[in-house]
Amino acid sequence: MEEKKGWFQKNSRLLLILCTFILSMISVSAKAATYDFDYQENQAGQYLTHGTAAGDTYNYDYGNAPGVEFDSENYVNYDDQAYLKKSVQEVAGNQGLFDVTLDVKGNQTNNAVDLVLVVDFSSSMTGEKLNNALLGLQQFGTELADSLANGSIRIGIVAYNRYVYSTNGFSTDIDYLEQFLRQTAESHSGTFMQKGLLEGERLLLEESRPEAEKLFIHIGDNSANRSYLPVEGATTYPNTGEITDYNGYHTQSYVKDFQTDNSAYHTTSSSSSDSLAIPVSTSVVTDATLGTIVAIKEAGFPMYSVATAPSSRGEYIGRNLATSSGNYLTIDENLVGLGSALTEIANKIDKTISNGTITDPMGTGILLQGAGSFDSDNYQLVGWRKDEQGTWVEAPDLVANVQVAEADQTITVSNLALGENERVTLTYQIRLDTEDSSFQGETWVLCNGRTTLVPEVDGEAVDFPIPSIKAPVVSINVLKKWVNVSAAEIPEQIEYQVQRMTTTSEQGWQISDPLTLSKEDDFQVTLSEVPVNGQQLVLPKYNNQGEDFSYTVTEINVPEDFESTVTNDGETIILTNTKKETEPSTTEPSTTEPSTTEPSTTEPSTTEPSTTEPSTTEP
C-alpha cells in the first residue's frame, strides 16, 4: 500500500514490550541446561566415570552412558538445540601424538518469527542495484526455505524514499515478495528514513503474530535527508548513552514523539521546491531519526542494520540502529553482498546454533601442537551437510566464516552457524609433557579443561565430555661387575648416576641425583624411578617429540687404579670396574763413567823488549 501513515498508540508499544519480555522469559527457560559429566580421580589418574579405554586413550561412552540423552548418532543431545562429541585417538605411526576432535551439530528452530525488511528504495534502486536486491532476497529465501515452508518464519517488506510502500502483512511466499519489489514499490528521490522505520515498526506491532519473535532489518546507506516535525511540547530527552557517538558525531538530546500526520516535514535541502519542506541543518534530521530509533528499540526486538557503503554520518545512524555491534553489517553500494549479509542474519534466525563459540583450553600437562603460532597447518576445520541419502558430505560454506584462534593453549572457535543436518568438526593434535617433573606414567590425564559451546550471543554454555590420554614408562636394570679384583678389595657400595639423553625441554632433567649399589644386593638393581633434585621421578619411554629416551649410568668417584666401562646386555646396563695391572720395574741402574779430562799444556808467555828511536829535530 502507498503512503500508509505510521501512527501508533502508546499502549500498543507498551503491550509489545510486555509481550516481548514474556516471550524472552519463556525463551530463557527453554534453553538447554548443561550436563555435569562425572569424572574419577584416583591412582589411575583423571578420567570420565562412564568411558572406554583403547590403548593410551580414554573416551566417553557415547550412546551408553547413563543420565545423558543421545541422538540417533550417539551425540550428546542438548534439548535438540546442540549435539556434541569430543574424542581423542592415537596417531598411527607417530609415537605419543594424539588427535583431538570437536564435533558439533545444529538443528532448525521451531520458534515462530516475523521479520520485516525495511529497504531504502530511493531513485538509484533500479537496474543492476534492483537486480542485486532481488538476488539477495532469493538467497535469503533459500537459506530460510524449510522455515518458510512450515510457516514458522514470515517476511514483510517496507520500501521507502519520499514515499513508503509495504507488503500486505507478512508472507512465506518469496515470489510474492519479489513481485512487490518489482512492481509495487517505486523508486523516487528523497530518503525519508524515519518514515520507513516507523512503518516497519507498525507492521511488527499490528500485523505480526502475538507469539512470534519479531526482527527488524534495515537495508540502506542510512543517509536520512527528511524527518517529521516534533510534536508541540514533546519531551526532550538528554542523551545519557542511548545514542552512541561515532565518527565524531554526537547527539546532545532527542525527542521521540513526532507529527506523523502532518504533511510538512524537515529537509536537509536548502533548494527544495516543495512548499511543505522546511529546510533545517543535517543534525536536526539526524537527531530526529535517532530519536525514532531509540523509541523503536524500546520494544525490545532485535534490530539489524545492513549498511550499503555508508558515509561517516550514515555509519553513525546505522550503528545506533543495530541492537548490538554484531548486528551491524556493511556491503557495497550496488548490493552485490546483500545475499551474504542476509544469509548471515538468516543463520541467526532459523538455526539453533546461530553465532556459536567453542572455548577449549588444554589440560594440565598437555602440549598443544603449534601453540603460539596456531594456524590452519595445525588443525583441520571441516563443514558437513547431509545429502538426500542421509550421508554426511563436505560443505565448505559452513566454515567459510568460522574463525579459529589460540592464545595461551586455549583454542577458540567462533562464528559457528549450524542448522538441521549441518555439522562442523575441528581436529588438532596434542602430546603429553613427558619431560615435566610432574609426569606420572601409565596415568590418565584429561586432555582439556572445561570445554564449552555457547550456541548464540549471550547464550548459556553447554559442556563437552573431556577424554583422557596416558603415556608409558620404562624401567632399567643396573648391574655392577668387578674384574681382576680380589674379594677383599671390593667395597661395600658404590655411587652412580642415571643419565638421560634426547631431552627436548630446557626444564627436562638430564642427570639424576647420586644413587648407590651395594654388595648386600649383589650390586644389581631395577629402577623405575630415580631421584632428581630430591624428588622421585618416573622414567618415561619417550620425550615431548615422541622419540625414545636413551638411558645410561655413570659411576661416581672411580678409584685411580680402576678402569670403568659401561656396556649393555639386552635390557641391562652393566658397569664394569677393572683393576689396572701393575707391571714389574725394568729400569736399568744408573752408571756414571769416570772423568778423562786431559791436563793443561799452556805455553809460557814471551815478551820482546821495547826499542825506541831518539827524536831528531832540524835546527
Pair (50, 149) in one structural domain: no
pLDDT computed for residue 53 by the predictor: 98
This prediction has a pTM of: 0.74
Average pLDDT, the chain: 89
Pair (386, 487) in one structural domain: no
pLDDT computed for residue 25 by the predictor: 37
Tell me which residue has cell 532476497: 137
Q: Name the residue among 284, 210, 208 with its Cα closest to residue 252.
A: 284
The per-residue pLDDT for range 471-497, each reduced to its tens digit, is 999 999 999 999 998 888 899 999 999
Q: Is residue 5 part of a domain?
A: no
SS3 letters across 187-207: CECCCCHHHHHHHHHHHHHHH
Domain-terminating residue out of 442, 469, 496: 469
pLDDT for 598 beyond 50: no
pLDDT computed for residue 109 by the predictor: 86
Pair (83, 130) in one structural domain: no
The per-residue pLDDT for range 20-53, each reduced to its tens digit, is 443 343 333 345 689 999 999 999 999 999 999 9
pLDDT computed for residue 489 by the predictor: 87
Pair (76, 16) in one structural domain: no
What does the DSSP 8-state code read for residue 360?
Answer: E
Q: Is residue 227 part of a domain?
A: yes
Q: Which residue has the higher pLDDT, 119 or 595?
A: 119
Q: Is residue 593 part of a domain?
A: no
Q: Per the structure, how many domains does the chain have?
A: 3
Q: What percent of the chain has pLDDT over 70?
A: 89
pLDDT for 7 beyond 80: no
pLDDT computed for residue 326 by the predictor: 86
pLDDT for 285 beyond 80: yes
The per-residue pLDDT for range 220-241, each reduced to its tens digit, is 999 999 999 999 999 999 999 9
Q: Tell me, what CATH number does 517's domain have?
A: 2.60.40.1140
Q: Tell me, what CATH number does 189's domain have?
A: 3.40.50.410
Pair (324, 338) in one structural domain: yes
Mention every residue, 6+ apart, whose C-beta is less than 8 A from residue 344: 329, 401, 417
User: Cα(573)–Cα(565) distance, rounded to whole angstroms?
Assistant: 10
Pair (452, 557) in one structural domain: no
Pair (252, 145) in one structural domain: yes
Lowest mean pLDDT among 128-137, 339-348, 532-541: 339-348
pLDDT computed for residue 32 by the predictor: 60
pLDDT computed for residue 570 by the predictor: 86
Whether the Cβ atoms of residue 169 and residue 199 lie closer than 8 Å to each other: no
What does the DSSP 8-state code read for residue 394?
Answer: E
The per-residue pLDDT for range 244-281, each reduced to its tens digit, is 999 999 999 999 999 999 999 999 999 999 999 999 99
Domain-terminating residue out of 469, 484, 499: 469
Q: Is residue 369 part of a domain?
A: yes
User: Cα(146)–Cα(386) distance, rounded to whole angstroms?
Assistant: 15
- Interval 165-171 mean pLDDT: 97
pLDDT computed for residue 49 by the predictor: 97
pLDDT for 574 beyond 90: yes
User: Cα(229)–Cα(264) distance, rounded to whole angstroms?
Assistant: 7
Segments forming the whole domain that contains residue 567: 476-579
pLDDT for 608 beyond 90: no
Q: What percent of the chain has pLDDT over 90?
A: 80
pLDDT for 349 beyond 90: no
Q: Is residue 408 part of a domain?
A: yes
Q: Is residue 618 part of a domain?
A: no
Q: How confident is the model at residue 343 (pLDDT cuts 50, 70, 90)?
A: confident
Domain-terminating residue out of 329, 350, 371: 350
Most confident by average pLDDT, 10-24, 134-148, 184-198:
184-198
pLDDT computed for residue 591 by the predictor: 39
Distances (CA, A) of 117 to 20, 139, 214, 443, 499: 19, 14, 11, 58, 73
Q: How confident is the model at residue 583 (pLDDT cuts 50, 70, 90)?
A: low
The per-residue pLDDT for range 391-421, each reduced to its tens digit, is 999 999 999 989 999 999 999 999 999 999 9
Pair (212, 337) in one structural domain: yes
Pair (341, 356) in one structural domain: no
Q: Is residue 590 part of a domain?
A: no
Pair (142, 191) in one structural domain: yes
Is the sign of the CA dihedral 561, 567, 572, 573 positive or negative? Answer: positive
Q: Is residue 601 part of a domain?
A: no
Strands annotated E in 455-514: 462-463, 468-469, 476-483, 493-501
pLDDT for 601 beyond 50: no
Pair (308, 380) in one structural domain: no
User: Cα(54)–Cα(564) distance, rounded to whole angstroms?
Assistant: 45
pLDDT computed for residue 584 by the predictor: 56
Q: Tell me, what CATH number does 375's domain have?
A: 2.60.40.2110
Pair (488, 444) in one structural domain: no
